[in-house]
Structure 1
Amino acid sequence: MILEYERLALKEVEEQDGLCIVGKGLGVQRIISKLVDNLCQQQKLILGLRFSKDWLHSLEQWFLVNQDIEPHLYPREIDASYSRAERQSIYHLEQGFLVVTSTILVHDLLLKVIPAEKVSCMVVNEAEFLVDDSRIECFIIRLLKEQNKKCSIKAFSERAEWFTRGFHLVEKAMRNLKVTKLYLWPRFRVEVDQCLLKSSGQLVELEVRQTPKMASLSKAILEAMGACLVELKRRNKSIDVSELDIQNALFKSFDFVILKQLEPMWHNVSSYTKQLIRDLRTLRNILTFSTKLNCVSFFNFLMAITQSEDTSKSHWLMSKTGEKIFTFAKSRIYVKSKDNKDLERKEKKPKFTSGSSIPLDMKVILEPSPKWSVLHSLLQEIRAKTNGEKWDEMLSMGYGCRVIIFVKDVSTMIELSEIVKDAKAPEEYLRKEFQKLMKSRDEAIARAKRLLAKEIADSENFYGIEPEPVDKENVQEKTGMDLASYCSDEETLGEKDSSRNLSLQVPDIEIVTLEASTESRKGLEVLESLKPRFVIIYEPHNCLIRQLEVYQNEFTELPLEVFCLVYENSVEKDKFEKALEYEAHSFERLIREKENMVVFVDDEHSNVDQNREDTSKFGIVEVGTLNRDSRKIGGRIYVDMREFRSKLPQLLYDTGAELIPVTLSIGDYILSKSIFVERKSLSDLTSSLQSGRLFSQVQQLCRHCRFPCLLIEFPPGKSFLLSSFSELVKELNPISVLSRLVLLTIHFPLLRLIWCHSEYFCGSVFAALKSSEPIDELPEIDSLVQNDTDSKEYDNYSAVDLLLQLPGVHERNVQNIVNKFNSIQELCNADEDELETTFGSNNAKIFYEFVHSTAPNLYEGQFK
């Protein structure tokens, strides 16, 4: 069953191809599922792009519930486990929904394995990624439309903000998708609003008051962030400061705003400015975890930051504000003992427990989260309500469980599973965590470091603006207890009163994790499968709230009460409201852009002409003779399958080259028998030099071709430098990138370096190199994909390298030597006549005299 506005959105997309952008939580997965269902009923071949395994599982569940189509038409994922013949047989069935891996689909389209003319429709999920024309999905759509002009494209997205982080990004996405219509379905659209208001249900927002220590801690972190912003503005006068404020700094997209402005001048940016940007990211993570983690885990998290190499030069750590942050964090765990004032006067230095930074003269104050007590009270109230009703009657009405508690990550789920058991559970849980801290501090800090690394990795997604999960700690200060009482045996900590246990062992309470990657599907799926009577949103979640609205309108016969826990006057609430405002603002901007949009026209010859015009501006076409008609005279290039993730293969395709996708074991591009190219981006170059992988790769190139090339590709729009001027002096050491690159060129003098500031210039260089080579001269690909078993040369490269260093051995006779002798020992034991048959007379004599001559003792007589 789909709602009325979902039916209208589906009708629009079915009538004409286009890009459909739906608000978060409004059921884009249901629209896609119904669309695929309708297309499969027509028994046509449909392809899917950017569908994960979880998505496919959701589609399968949809088909199982609705039972509209036959099982052989259910969605199927085609990956590398299928052989070429198996894929070809599946394609020629010409029916069903196939989600093919992007690299496999490029391979099959280029080599005509898939009958493109039989593809009826392509459904694109997560269309926001296609704003970048270098994506492999853009190349797939282009190849498909060139081979089948009648193939329809249906694209969907629920991240409107991604299309507003630049200039006319929605137009670029539509051009890459080859569609002409834009369909917008925000929450404030009349059809959506009227539909969801029919059964709005009951939503109660419970504002939880923060503890004074928590409020002071958040204030100190915000002060540190404000100081970093002031310093960033003062040292960089050329950047736009309109968006550099505290409110924007709370979101991960703030990093994208700063870096986008600094990228063109990154080579002139000082190391101090770069450190400020890193500090802002670190402080944002601290602000998030200050309320998300319990007091013990957060203290561990701070200790991990102080021991991290990345923060060794952080200026906020040495400031008074940084000292406040650590002081407030410690005050949530322990306070000074009033009984030990005399001890403090007598001893200048406090005594510490072994392996910790907590003095012995302190009393432990483990401050629980205010949400824990509110959650307990709420569950008690729910239990009282449900006890008044007969649960059997509720089950007969259609309910599946009593309560669902939604959280944002697994760690919070594990924590709450311990907390909600009984009233004493929070205290016992914190005692356990504190005991772990005291006994295994190194392991605890290691876990905190992993948590920090994960959050930093997640923050690289600069577009995400979802409100961070925040849960604040308790205001109640327990009377101090001696440290020894918290270091007691674990057995005493495990004793609980089972009579007061609010049981999780019965299927009445479910704690469900909604991670960012699955939030658009999992929330509604859980609600539809469990059918709860009460829902508790432990952390504010705008996507989940809308999914609850959809669920209530779908199951109007099942009353639902929803409780949302949010901190009063907190950053958590500000981020939640800001995210809603930002999405609404993004849709409003898209509506204005739609009115003045330049519509893409899918003309039969416009793509080729436009690409020729674009590439000619960068000198690609004029360099050589590579045009669309030159394939018959030698425009073939072997391309490694993994390289299709970059834009360079698309540009080579524009020049008229015939791309042959293979899985190469040597190099990334093979232009001819004598020119092999290994491509490295800046990040890949650094890691390859550090690990030594590039050395072995270049060694392989030098063995198989005369002109091995290393292509160093710089990101477009960034500085054309390996290191900034401010860091150039620091980089001049034996382990720097520049030093290792110099050593690489010294060790392999045949290696050519190609420095490319953009993909367009790469295409120009490739065209020039290709034009200088004989037509249709490419090596046998079998020897480059797998080991050549007919030649002994590839069995032992170290022995061949040793042979080439010996007198009388050179490239012309080394292969004969390898084929004749089985080992170095057998070669050295051969007589001169036997050597002449493989070396030749002169070379055999040189080698024989070198092997059998007596080496002089250079140190004779020196130590008498």
Structure 2
Amino acid sequence: MNLLKFHKEVISTLMTNPENKQVDGDGLVIMSRGLGIRKILLAFLNIYSHNKNLVILLNTSQQEIESLKQELAKIQKTKNGQSFLKVINNETPSSERHAIYIKGGMLAITSRILVVDMLNRTIPTHLITGFLINHAHNITETSMEAFILRLFRQENKVGFIKAFSDSPESFIYGIWKLEKTMRTLFLRNVYFWPRFHLAVSKELEKNSIRVIEIRVPLSPNMKNIQTSLIECLEATLLDIKKITNYIDVDFNIENALFRSFDKIVRNQLNPIWYSISNRAKKIVGDLKTIRSLIDYLLSYDCVAFYSLLETILAENAPTSIFQQENSPWLLLDAANTVFSLSKNRVYINTTNPRDLEKCKVTPELKRLLSKNTLPILEELPKWKVLKKELDPSQQKIKIEIKKENEEEEDENKKILIMVNSRRTSLQLKMILSLFKKNELNGSYYLMNKLLENYFLWKKKLAYVNKNPNGPVNNDRKTSNFQKNTNTSKPGGRYASLNNSGNVGGSRRRIRRGKSSSNINFIQTHISNSINDEEKIKLEVKNDENDKNDNDETKKRNEDEEQEFGEYLPFDIQIDEEMENDDENIIIREYSNTRFLRQSDMEDDYKMLEDISPDYVIIYDPNLNFIRNLEIYCASLKKKKIPKVYMLIYDNSIEEQRYLSQIRREKYAFERLIKEKSIMSIPIDQDGRIKLQPEDDFWKEINTRIAGGQLEKGYKKQIIVDVREFRCSLPLLIHTKEINVKPCTLIVGDYILTPTHCVERKSVNDLIQSFKSGRLYNQVESMSTYYKQPILLIEFNQDKSFLLQSVNKSEISNEDIQSKIVLLLLAFPNLKILWASSPYASSEMFDDIKKSQKEPDEQEALSKGTELLEKNNQEKSYNPYTQYNVTPQEMLLSIPGVNYKNYRIIMNNVENIYELSQMTVDQLNPLVGIESARLIYNFFNSTPKDKLV
């Protein structure tokens, strides 16, 4: 593994020094993107991989772990390519995990599993050598990683904690984000390594690269569309300012060009989201839509871009099944310019038939064109430049640099072309392959086929609109190009533009809202519009269904959020015949792109090492890749460095975003350096200072009860279902100095006392539980086993504490409030707790436990699974089938039946009718003589006897 000098310096600052006790090896490293933080992580994984240590890697995805294992295997040169990094996930039985922990080594463990093992003492916490925290910018005060480190520091004062991050911008959002993160990670030291660091600059300048910028001018239509979209974006920003003064963010075009801006605006509006109008919500969604259209203008072909615009119009049409509120920006003159010019890039209407005769089109497209339609099919300007400079038929690259008046011709050299998305990669492969076979202009041939598919889709859609319930004619023969097309990727033409689509290469789960059922009739007819095998998956994400995700899931999903419209019904997939078989021309996607395949989960540096290109063409500017390229060239030392060319649109948003990214990173480091200089860090923040015995004693004293006269060793305890460790509430309970005991519970989620059982529901889970009927069964089970069943309805702390929007005045039977009332009528003993956040939930739990006995673990585990033995007979017990609450309440209303004997009666008597026919002698063994007489008299007395 090639480590540069500054890499070794970073590693040395985090290494433990046995001679100097003040150097404990703890620290947070924040480095610029692309400078090789992955190499530093790999170095530590290699250092601690032997069995003498027990080092745990946290906050790393499964795909990244597999990639790290492969690289470690090469570094360690192990047999069969297996590294010493062991993976523990939900497939590893608990009986095997303890043996793996004792053996030691380098482990990568799922956070939820590790928390449970630490609480159950499955892992010897005192033997843990330390933790390596990846992507430290994602760690929050309520994350599972924070819970793990808290448990670790309580018992282990000598182990190290090393955290790594390559996202400095993430630490400047919010109030004192860096200080909070360091406190959460139990760290007192933070190290900054920006690109302008003296050691970094000095090392990279030794064998520096020269990036030759090829400035590509935008076409007149693209330039006018870009200007109009910016006007629409400015108008939308002004509308958002008028909504509320609650937002604290700089409203300018430069900030609005980044994806993070959408999230910041939405997160700041979340506390008042239900108090703003539907129009205001639509405007916030339009912010993302317009920004995405600016991106796609420069990356999509003209046919795909125009089809996206038509999708927007379809969504906002008065007859649309998707539409609730029109987008205000569509009423602007600038929006009209966007739509008209985008159409002119694809085709125009002409009255001169000779224009069509002069136009070169494929026979299939010619049959679909109307008499007055003239295809324009404007190519992307970068396509023209790439075809001009790159000649795959001769296997050479020819770039003219006017400033230096140089001309280079190198044959049989490897040419690496880096693009931003899978779609761009596929299109470039098709263009180059057709160009090599000397067919019709490669890009123009591609555009012809895309337009052909577009008109076929329009024709099918027109038929569906006229005959929504009629059959679709699938006998029409499709073209060869269509047979090679694959659109199985979700997020099609009708995907909701204000929500994220699930692309083919993504492994993230997308929650689908109930609105998707409304478009099944369209999906049925359109699914065969391209060919018989492909499916257009239509997705409309209902905002109400994901409004209350738990905090951890929300953070993860934000990092993996994706844009709409990445794939269309006529996306392309290169078959073997069209695949560019030139081994010297390699087209790859950036490793940090959001549309990766399973095999592409490797970093750009490793790819450069494997390919060793002679020429690198950066088709889409990417700061992260350029930094990786600098590191790669610096590690080559005396070897010949590759020649780098970057295609960038002149005076475009692409150029503005690239320059803004550099400025934002520099500003972030400057602000963090200033924050560190004035930061006040307590001496015990690292958790290494041991508490005195008297401190432990005072923690066990409860002064509210008899002057604090409690027995030594007494501590509060709450039994928690293991599935609840996906949320932050167990951590917050633990911060209240309450023991958390994880168990697999059948009844309830939290057992507070022997009589108090809690079922926790987020608002989203509450809605789904009512729909499925699961909540009724859960409450019924709690009522059977516990005297006081409790339903906890927990809201997200970042969102408003409202169950119904203020814009909705009427309440119907389908509303959640109505269902809650019906649930309370069915279970009068049920209590409901309303918590505005997990913090409020933990406070209420602490209050409920005061002056109450502690729950018993074995008793809680037996609820729902015990075998009842009465009258020398064993009967298996199932709370969901044997006991019904309504007959149970009826039975308890009978004189002589109470909570001590009603279960005995239910287990030995078939029904109430059989009970009414029993004699006193038959009832005596079950309930005793007094209760037997009361029951018998109740059933065998008449109203007249009562009157007498």
TM-score (norm 1): 0.81
- Note the residue ranges of structure 1 that are not aligned, 5 or more in a row: 342-356, 395-401, 472-486, 850-864
CA deviations on 1:501-539 (whole Å, 9 max, x unpaired) are 893364642433534468995211111112222222221
- Distance in 2 (CA, whole Å) between partners of 1:631 and 1:219 is 73
Q: Using the TM superposition, give the Cα deviation of residue 125 of structure 1 relative to its aligned residue in structure 2, in angstroms.
A: 0.6
Matched, 1:321 2:334: yes
Which position in structure 2 is the counterpart of 1:333? 346
**Percent of residue pairs bearing the same amino acid type:** 27
- Distance in 2 (CA, whole Å) between partners of 1:738 and 1:9 is 56
Matched, 1:531 2:617: no
CA deviations on 1:5-63 (whole Å, 9 max, x unpaired) are 11111111114310001110000010111122122358311111112223323332333
Report SS of the residue matched to 1:448: coil
Are the structure 2 counterparts of residues 847 and 413 from structure 1 closer, same or farther at C-alpha, using a change threshold of 3 Å? farther
Q: Using the TM superposition, give the Cα deviation of residue 587 of structure 1 relative to its aligned residue in structure 2, in angstroms.
A: 0.7
Q: Are the aligned partners of 1:788 and 1:794 in contact in 2 as well (CA < 8 Å)?
A: no
Q: Using the TM superposition, give the Cα deviation of residue 565 of structure 1 relative to its aligned residue in structure 2, in angstroms.
A: 1.9
Report SS of the residue matched to 2:49: helix
Which position in structure 2 is the counterpart of 1:565? 647
Q: AA paired with 2:302? A: C
Report SS of the residue matched to 2:443: helix
Q: Give the number of aligned pairs.
A: 790
Q: Are the aligned partners of 2:749 and 2:758 in contact in 1 as well (CA < 8 Å)?
A: yes
Q: Are the aligned partners of 1:250 and 1:284 in contact in 2 as well (CA < 8 Å)?
A: yes
Q: Are the aligned partners of 2:864 and 2:879 in contact in 1 as well (CA < 8 Å)?
A: no
Q: Are the aligned partners of 1:232 and 1:276 in contact in 2 as well (CA < 8 Å)?
A: yes
Which position in structure 2 is the counterpart of 1:405? 417
Alignment of 1:214-613 (within 5 A): 214-237=222-245, 239-240=247-248, 243-259=250-266, 261-263=268-270, 265-266=272-273, 268-308=275-315, 309=322, 312-339=325-352, 361-380=372-391, 383-385=395-397, 391=412, 402-423=414-435, 424-440=441-457, 447-450=492-495, 452=497, 453-454=499-500, 503-504=580-581, 506=583, 508-516=585-593, 521-556=602-637, 557-602=639-684
Alignment of 1:742-753 (within 5 A): 742-753=821-832
Q: AA paired with 1:408? A: N
Which position in structure 2 is the counterpart of 1:667? 748
CA deviations on 1:553-574 (whole Å, 9 max, x unpaired) are 1224143122222211111111
Which position in structure 1 is the counterpart of 2:26? 17
- Distance in 1 (CA, whole Å) between partners of 2:326 and 2:644 is 46
Q: Using the TM superposition, give the Cα deviation of residue 274 of structure 1 relative to its aligned residue in structure 2, in angstroms.
A: 2.7
Q: AA paired with 1:255? A: D
Q: Are the aligned partners of 2:306 and 2:343 in contact in 1 as well (CA < 8 Å)?
A: yes
- Distance in 2 (CA, whole Å) between partners of 1:654 and 1:194 is 46
CA deviations on 1:670-719 (whole Å, 9 max, x unpaired) are 11232111222334334444554434433333333222212122333654
Q: Using the TM superposition, give the Cα deviation of residue 140 of structure 1 relative to its aligned residue in structure 2, in angstroms.
A: 0.5
- Distance in 2 (CA, whole Å) between partners of 1:628 and 1:427 is 87
Q: Using the TM superposition, give the Cα deviation of residue 606 of structure 1 relative to its aligned residue in structure 2, in angstroms.
A: 7.5
Q: Are the aligned partners of 2:495 and 2:564 in contact in 1 as well (CA < 8 Å)?
A: no
Which position in structure 2 is the counterpart of 1:45? 54
Q: AA paired with 2:52? A: Q
- Distance in 2 (CA, whole Å) between partners of 1:627 and 1:217 is 74
Q: Using the TM superposition, give the Cα deviation of residue 313 of structure 1 relative to its aligned residue in structure 2, in angstroms.
A: 3.0
Structure with the higher helix share, 1 or 2: 1
Q: Are the aligned partners of 2:429 and 2:579 in contact in 1 as well (CA < 8 Å)?
A: no
CA deviations on 1:139-195 (whole Å, 9 max, x unpaired) are 101111111100011110000000000222111111111111111111111111111
Q: Are the aligned partners of 2:417 and 2:585 in contact in 1 as well (CA < 8 Å)?
A: no
Q: Which moved more, 1:154-163 or 1:225-234?
A: 225-234
Q: Are the aligned partners of 2:744 and 2:861 in contact in 1 as well (CA < 8 Å)?
A: no
Matched, 1:722 2:803: yes
Report SS of the residue matched to 2:760: strand
Q: AA paired with 1:794? A: N
Q: AA paired with 2:819? A: R
CA deviations on 1:351-374 (whole Å, 9 max, x unpaired) are xxxxxx998743333222222222
Matched, 1:212 2:220: yes
Which position in structure 2 is the counterpart of 1:857? none
Q: Are the aligned partners of 2:784 and 2:885 in contact in 1 as well (CA < 8 Å)?
A: no
- Distance in 1 (CA, whole Å) between partners of 2:710 and 2:142 is 25
Q: Are the aligned partners of 1:299 and 1:329 in contact in 2 as well (CA < 8 Å)?
A: yes
- Distance in 2 (CA, whole Å) between partners of 1:422 and 1:643 is 56
Q: Which moved more, 1:6-15 or 1:185-194?
A: 6-15
- The structure 1 residue matched to 2:117, chosen from 102, 108, 114, is 108
Matched, 1:77 2:80: no
Q: Using the TM superposition, give the Cα deviation of residue 738 of structure 1 relative to its aligned residue in structure 2, in angstroms.
A: 2.9
Q: AA paired with 1:637? A: I
Q: AA paired with 1:668? A: D
Report SS of the residue matched to 2:418: strand
Q: Using the TM superposition, give the Cα deviation of residue 497 of structure 1 relative to its aligned residue in structure 2, in angstroms.
A: 15
CA deviations on 1:346-398 (whole Å, 9 max, x unpaired) are xxxxxxxxxxx99874333322222222222232188235996564xx6xxxx
Q: Using the TM superposition, give the Cα deviation of residue 106 of structure 1 relative to its aligned residue in structure 2, in angstroms.
A: 0.9
Are the structure 2 counterparts of residues 255 and 570 from structure 1 closer, same or farther at C-alpha, using a change threshold of 3 Å? same
- Distance in 2 (CA, whole Å) between partners of 1:194 and 1:86 is 49
Q: Are the aligned partners of 1:712 and 1:755 in contact in 2 as well (CA < 8 Å)?
A: yes
Q: Are the aligned partners of 2:73 and 2:82 in contact in 1 as well (CA < 8 Å)?
A: no
Are the structure 2 counterparts of residues 688 and 358 from structure 1 closer, same or farther at C-alpha, using a change threshold of 3 Å? farther
Which position in structure 2 is the counterpart of 1:647? 728
Q: Are the aligned partners of 2:419 and 2:587 in contact in 1 as well (CA < 8 Å)?
A: no
Q: Are the aligned partners of 2:745 and 2:861 in contact in 1 as well (CA < 8 Å)?
A: no
- The structure 1 residue matched to 2:171, chosen from 163, 167, 171, is 163
Q: Are the aligned partners of 1:288 and 1:469 in contact in 2 as well (CA < 8 Å)?
A: no
Are the structure 2 counterparts of residues 820 and 31 from structure 1 closer, same or farther at C-alpha, using a change threshold of 3 Å? same
- Distance in 2 (CA, whole Å) between partners of 1:495 and 1:21 is 40
Are the structure 2 counterparts of residues 538 and 508 from structure 1 closer, same or farther at C-alpha, using a change threshold of 3 Å? closer
Alignment of 1:89-168 (within 5 A): 89-93=99-103, 95-130=104-139, 132-168=140-176
- Note the residue ranges of structure 2 that are not aligned, 5 or more in a row: 17-24, 316-321, 355-367, 399-407, 436-440, 462-486, 503-509, 512-553, 869-873, 942-948
Q: AA paired with 1:797? A: T
- Distance in 2 (CA, whole Å) between partners of 1:769 and 1:748 is 21
Report SS of the residue matched to 1:54: helix
CA deviations on 1:333-353 (whole Å, 9 max, x unpaired) are 221122489xxxxxxxxxxxx
Q: Are the aligned partners of 2:717 and 2:854 in contact in 1 as well (CA < 8 Å)?
A: no
Report SS of the residue matched to 1:14: coil
TM-score (norm 2): 0.74
- Distance in 1 (CA, whole Å) between partners of 2:230 and 2:711 is 62
- Distance in 2 (CA, whole Å) between partners of 1:629 and 1:100 is 39
